Amino acid sequence: MLDLIIRGGTVVDGTGARARRSDVGVSGGRVVSIGNTDDGAARTVDADGLVIAPGFIDIHTHYDAQLSWDPFATPSPLHGVTTVIGGNCGFSIAPLGSSADADYVMRMMAVVEGIPLETLRAGASWDWRSFGDWLDRFEGHLGVNAGFLVGHSALRRTAMGADATDHEASDEQLAGMIALLHDAFDSGALGFSSSRDAAHTDGDGASVPSNAASVEELVALAGVAREHEGTTLEFIPAIGRIPRDRMELMADMSLAANRPLNWNLLGSMSPVEIYEQQLEACDLASERGARVVALTIPDLLRIRANNLLDSQREFAEVSALSDDARRAALRDPAVRDRLRRSLERAAERGIEAIGRWDLIEVAEGRSTETDAYAGWTIEKLASVRGADPIDVLLDVVLPEQLPLTMVLPSLVPSLGRSDEGWKARVAIWQDERVVLGGSDAGAHLNLLCHANYPTVVLSEAVRERKLLSIEAAIRLMTAVPAGLYGLTGRGRLAPGSCADIVVLDPARVATEPPVARFDLPAGGERLFAEARGIERVLIGGRDVVVDGELTGELAGTVLRSGRNTETVTVAG
């Protein structure tokens, strides 16, 4: 008898193959059959009208710290994500050489990844030292599958102490880093990550440790991965256009490791198109026998911009008034005229997205009336009300101090949110040099929430715009990232695969707008997006999400290199 049968659903298996109506049988945490079956089971789930797919895999998160207080890595599983990878961008929270290193890494993470420092201090013990010691603490205590890369900055700080931020490593210090990295890989680290982003600074305002490393150090550390099964590389080469020497460096790192190198972020929030120049790094690597793959964010980049209007002095003065005084001021024609002229001048100077009312959204409401406006652009709200966009700001947004979101079209900013922009982005997602992801989930908590990208892809690109088949979309979020990282038994539904499964309603699947919550340790703030249409999420055949709610099941696995991954070489 089977443990579970999911009956009568439409199976989209992750390979890109055509969907088919079928039953899925599960026993012992594994898929044992796909096809119509009369076998009995301890329990049965009716999936008539629903899609049965592999759980989604998010390879770019910063849940390293959050999993200490939130074993479910919320809100990711609510959107169908069953596997997350942390330790990206050169920033892991292990190894740590001392309590002083722990304090340094905490303060660095607060700055570079936007996690409140008091939350970090209150939410984790910070008493581990080796990578393995830290990883062991998650065994049996995860609600999702989670694997982690070793971040260069933590590695450097542990081996070099205070010298890590502004000195090249001595031979002895490099040997110490190499030994630490070997130890982390022996313990199950999935790979090595680093960064050359000059904008990243630590808690003291200095450049993060990885930026002080020599090219020789980066290549030597990448080469350690070659000696360990099932490992990989992740890297930030630059923000913006990638210089030729950084392209050469990524190819050198990939060749030293004989592993693919995944770099981020394609487009890099540039105000102009640069993705074609950036993708030359992938072509250069291929010409040299290496493999370099670009990470791209699938959704429009939405950043909470509560201070967007207050960046104008005239608006800041009005916002600072009490509620009654502010509302009275906004009825004064002279005040309104002054505010209007302030915005018009700002738009002429090209400040932020002021004037691009199609790129500014109401983030969330503050009353029964304004709750309905959440996720609406100022342009749409003005059209519905038959008003000028600036009047909408003065009559709706300012009186209730509604928070705003600034939308930055990724990859092809010149096309904005247009149909042509969506078509161009979806075409880029399917380029073999590109992998979909880039959620940054667990980081920049009060600015953005892109853990919802699977439901955005399935609603926007598949159902609403019909730019991707559901089979192609699910493949991009399952088999492709699983294949890049060598995740065994994951990313596809087939007999013998892990029973990491999402059951979704294709007619309803979508994201709710992110809203502010103050539910982090020490009362820290984060943005949190609920999902619609994710009916059930299983990990190892156990229900983790049912009807949009967490069940409390700690069904996740600590993913360890060599045990849960196989080696992917540059040849693929």
Q: What is the pLDDT of residues 289-300, one digit of tens each?
A: 999 999 999 878
Show the tokens assigned to 182.
């070997």
Ranges assigned E (strand) in 334-400: 360-362
Q: CA geometry: angle at 526 spanning 391 and 203, to 5°?
A: 110
State pLDDT tens for residues 423-481.
999 999 999 999 999 899 999 999 999 999 999 999 999 999 999 999 999 999 999 99
Mean pLDDT of the chain: 96
Mean pLDDT score, 356-361: 92
Q: Do residues 487 and 559 make contact, with C-beta atoms less than 8 angstroms apart?
A: yes
User: Residue 208's pLDDT band (boundaries 50, 70, 90)?
Assistant: very high
State pLDDT tens for residues 266-275.
998 788 899 9
Rounded CA gap, 333 and 305, in Å? 26
User: Residue 47's pLDDT band (boundaries 50, 70, 90)?
Assistant: very high
Mean pLDDT score, 36-63: 95
Decide if pLDDT at 6 tops 90: yes
State pLDDT tens for residues 375-399.
999 999 999 999 999 999 999 999 9
Rounded CA gap, 76 and 61, in Å? 10
Decide if pLDDT at 370 tops 90: yes
Decide if pLDDT at 352 tops 80: no
Identify the pLDDT of residue 472: 98
List Cβ neighbours of 347 (8 Å cut-off, separation of 6 or more). 354, 355
Identify the pLDDT of residue 438: 87
Identify the pLDDT of residue 270: 84
Identify the pLDDT of residue 201: 96
How much of the chain exceeds pLDDT 90, in percent?
A: 91
Q: Which residue has the higher pLDDT, 38 or 394?
A: 394
List Cβ neighbours of 219 (8 Å cut-off, separation of 6 or more). 249, 252, 253, 256
Show the tokens assigned to 268.
């890099």
Rounded CA gap, 185 and 179, in Å? 10
Identify the pLDDT of residue 85: 98
Superfamily of domain 56-300+411-488, CATH level 4: Metal-dependent hydrolases (3.20.20.140)
Identify the pLDDT of residue 55: 98
Q: Do residues 404 and 309 make contact, with C-beta atoms less than 8 angstroms apart?
A: yes
* Residue 111, H or E segment: helix 99-112
Q: Closest by alpha carbon to 461, among 471, 473, 476, 449? A: 473
Name the residue with tokens 């930030």.
Answer: 236
Q: What is the 3-state secondary structure (H, E, C) of 282-325?
A: HHHHHHCCCCEEEEECCCCEEEECCCCHHHCHHHHHHHCCCHHH
Dihedral over Cα of 533, 531, 406, 307: its sign: positive
Q: Do residues 231 and 561 make contact, with C-beta atoms less than 8 angstroms apart?
A: yes
User: Residue 175's pLDDT band (boundaries 50, 70, 90)?
Assistant: very high
Identify the pLDDT of residue 560: 98
Mean pLDDT score, 543-568: 98
Q: Closest by alpha carbon to 83, among 476, 559, 419, 527? A: 559
The β-bridge partners of 531 are 511
Identify the pLDDT of residue 571: 86
Decide if pLDDT at 39 tops 90: no
Identify the pLDDT of residue 189: 98
Q: How many CB atoms lie within 10 A of CB 517?
A: 16
Ranges assigned E (strand) in 107-153: 145-151
Mean pLDDT score, 5-28: 98
Identify the pLDDT of residue 228: 98
Q: Closest by alpha carbon to 435, among 396, 495, 482, 384? A: 482
Mean pLDDT score, 510-539: 97
pTM, to two decimals: 0.96
φ, ψ of residue 216 in degrees (nearest 5): -60, -40
Show the tokens assigned to 499.
């029973």
Single-letter amino acid code for the residue at 238 = A
Q: Do the bridges between strand 232-236 and strand 191-195 make them parallel or antiparallel, or are there none, so unpaired? A: parallel
Residue ranges per domain, the chain? 56-300+411-488, 303-407
Show the tokens assigned to 492.
């596809």
List Cβ neighbours of 70 (8 Å cut-off, separation of 6 or more). none
Identify the pLDDT of residue 488: 98
Identify the pLDDT of residue 25: 97
How much of the chain exceeds pLDDT 70, in percent?
A: 100
163 secondary structure, DSSP code: G
Rounded CA gap, 42 and 64, in Å? 36
Rounded CA gap, 364 and 373, in Å? 7
